[in-house]
A and B are shown apart, each in its own frame.
Chain A
Amino acid sequence: MATEVMLEKYSGEVFTVSIGATKQEGGSRSHTIKIGGQKALPYLFPEGAIPNKPVIAYEIWDIPPVDWSAELSSAYGAALKDPFTWAEKCVRDFKAEILCVRLQGAHPEFGNRSAAEEANFIKALLKKIDVPLIITESGDDTKDNQVLPACCEAAKGERLLVGSAAQDNYKTLAAAVLADGHNIIAESPIDINIAKQLNILISDMSLPLERIVINPTIGALGYGLEYAYTIMERSRLAALAGDKTVSSPFICFVGQESWRAKEAKLAVSEMPAWGPEVERGVIWEAVTATALIQAGADILVMRHPKAAAQVGKYIDNLMVRGK
């Protein structure tokens, strides 16, 4: 007897968010990255459309990174000293489709760059490379509330993705993103109730839900990955059932979390049984990324080019099945 495959039918869908405006759209990017739009759980192609593949954003900093492991740093070499060279290397050598630039240098403890300096940096970066950009904060709320609006204005019309808004600090950024035509990252601390609440608060400021990307906050493999996974899954199920307040695509800071794990960075001399750290860190980052893709991640912000390349292949194989 033939087995009948039971297929779920969903009424809702994830919002499609477009990042990067081309010349025709009033920006200067070479292409637009579209994320979201799913009408089914991750990669269950027979149940509904999965129109856009997950994208890998290469993470770069405005200053040389301060806490990157030797293996991770060696992947970029001298390019880490200059953000423009670094950005060009990602685009030219690693074929990055989108970059995520972290304005760490604005932090009072890491250079304390002014809002004007960072805005000029963003302007120059947009001239140097033509892929869409994600801009993220230094982590100092007071400073970020000066720097991010200035950067939004400097990139007016480029339709970038800027973050992060949090439940206790979202108004300044939401207003700037709204005024200058960008998209916003809404960050919640592995908490679906806060993720939903923050989306409502932001949309109450007239920034449409269609311009929000949720950062659910993730843990790397071995460090709470499964908590993030279940939150993303629950949120996606609600979205597919029609709850628009949680129908945003997800951005996951995979590189940042994976390379914090001691399994990723500890030298082989300290832990001989674990094998060479040259491979370990890449594996840790790639495995974390692929698990989150299955949870529904739409943007993976990654660090090691080898890990990114492996995950890129994984994504291609996954999407082939939908054709």
Chain B
Amino acid sequence: MFIIGELINGMYQNIGRAIKEHDKAVIQKCALQQVQAGADALDVNCGPASREPLSDIQWLVETIQEVTDKPLALDSSKPKVIESGLKVIKNRPIINSTTADPEKLEILVALAKQYKARLIGITISSKGIPQNKDQRLELAAVIVATCVDNDFNVEDLYLDPIVLPVNVAQAQMKDILESIREFKIISQPSPKTIVGLSNVSQGSCVRSLINRTFLTMAVAYGLDAAILDPADKELMDAAITSELILNKQIYCDSYLEAYRKK
């Protein structure tokens, strides 16, 4: 499973302050902690409070690149911010993310091609958040079709069904899980699937348990990647064990350690 660490986000107080004060140590420590915990890539988000996101994202990327070679996921709803980050990124980038809106898709698919980036596509549009599986599939099909039309490799596309909080949209959970499986059959070769996990437990009081239960179920539905908190050891253990059950790793008594050695 491809794990993107979610902790470098200006929304968190310590990170927000570090961005404002240009405190490299805080960011670099957070980056290394996530890598040591098993993150394959790191999400980079300046947060809503950033007044100069164009320069803040560049500072973040450069700061993180001083300590790790892991791929970085440039996380912004503004294509201009993502483009600014792409200009200073050294390794193969991940764009997080495009919606299914044509004007956004056009810009971000072109940028992804130009920078040989992987692209995360979330199944929402300016009309709002989908309410069921069919709406998700329809939006996913728009994203896939745009990629195909523009010769962007669909295997580098990660579709996100938009995970909603279980205490808000309980009736949609099954549709979200089933979308993960059905996204894979939209095209051949298949697009990949991803979730922003923590949203599922937003506002509830047993967050860690809800996160890891949802992740386990999503893995069973064929999930390829997740944006999550890798410092949650039980969550990571659940992800590794889920893949073991699906015969994606060879069992041995120390399989958790073996996975982390890879």
Contact surface of A with B, Cβ cutoff 8 Å: 192-194, 196-197, 200-201, 203, 234-235, 238, 242-246
Instruction: Enumerate the 7 nearest inter-chain pairs by beta-carbon distance, A residue then B residue, closest first.
Output: A196-B252, A197-B252, A245-B258, A200-B254, A193-B252, A197-B253, A193-B251
Q: State in angstroms the CA–CA spacing of A246 and B250 once bound together.
A: 9
Q: In chain A, what residue has the closest Cβ to B248?
A: A241
Which residues of B in the span 77-107 have a Cβ within 8 Å of any Cβ on A?
none
CB distance from B249 to the nearest CB of A (A): 7
A-side interface mostly: helix
Q: State in angstroms the CA–CA spacing of A193 and B250 once bound together.
A: 7
B127 at the interface (CB under 8 A from A): no
Q: State in angstroms the CA–CA spacing of A235 and B251 once bound together.
A: 11
Contact B252 A200 (CB under 8 A): yes
CB contacts between A and B, total, < 8 Å: 36
Q: State in angstroms the CA–CA spacing of A96 and B220 once bound together.
A: 52
Contact A192 B261 (CB under 8 A): no
Please tell me the number of chain B residues within 8 Å of chain A, measured between CB atoms.
10
Contact residues in A for B249 (Cβ distance below 8 Å): 238, 243
Q: Could you write out 10 A-B pairs with CB less than 8 Å apart?
A: A192-B250, A193-B252, A196-B251, A196-B252, A200-B252, A200-B254, A203-B261, A245-B252, A245-B258, A245-B261
Which residues of B in the span 226-262 have a Cβ within 8 Å of any Cβ on A?
249-254, 257-258, 261-262
Contact B262 A243 (CB under 8 A): yes
B-side interface mostly: loop
Contact residues in B for A201 (Cβ distance below 8 Å): 254
Contact A234 B250 (CB under 8 A): yes
Contact A200 B250 (CB under 8 A): no
Out of A193, A203, A234, A242, name the residue touching B262 (CB < 8 Å). Answer: A242
Out of A194, A200, A234, A235, name the residue touching B261 (CB < 8 Å). Answer: A200
Q: In chain B, what residue has the closest Cβ to A238?
A: B250
Contact B262 A245 (CB under 8 A): yes
Determine which residue in B249, B252, B254, B262 has the highest number of CB atoms from chain A within 10 A of its CB, and name it: B252
Q: State in angstroms the CA–CA spacing of A201 and B261 once bound together.
A: 12
Contact residues in B for A193 (Cβ distance below 8 Å): 250-253
Contact residues in A for B254 (Cβ distance below 8 Å): 197, 200-201
Q: State in angstroms the CA–CA spacing of A238 and B254 once bound together.
A: 16
Contact residues in B for A238 (Cβ distance below 8 Å): 249-250
CB distance from A227 to the nearest CB of B (A): 16
Q: State in angstroms the CA–CA spacing of A244 and B254 once bound together.
A: 14
Q: State in angstroms the CA–CA spacing of A245 and B254 once bound together.
A: 11
Q: In chain B, what residue has the closest Cβ to A242?
A: B262
Contact A235 B250 (CB under 8 A): yes
CB distance from A235 to the nearest CB of B (A): 7
CB distance from A192 to the nearest CB of B (A): 6
Contact A243 B251 (CB under 8 A): no
CB distance from A4 to the nearest CB of B (A): 14
Q: A197-B254, A234-B250, A243-B258 are in contact. List 9 more A-B contacts (CB 8 A).
A: A192-B250, A193-B250, A196-B252, A200-B252, A200-B258, A238-B249, A243-B250, A243-B262, A245-B252
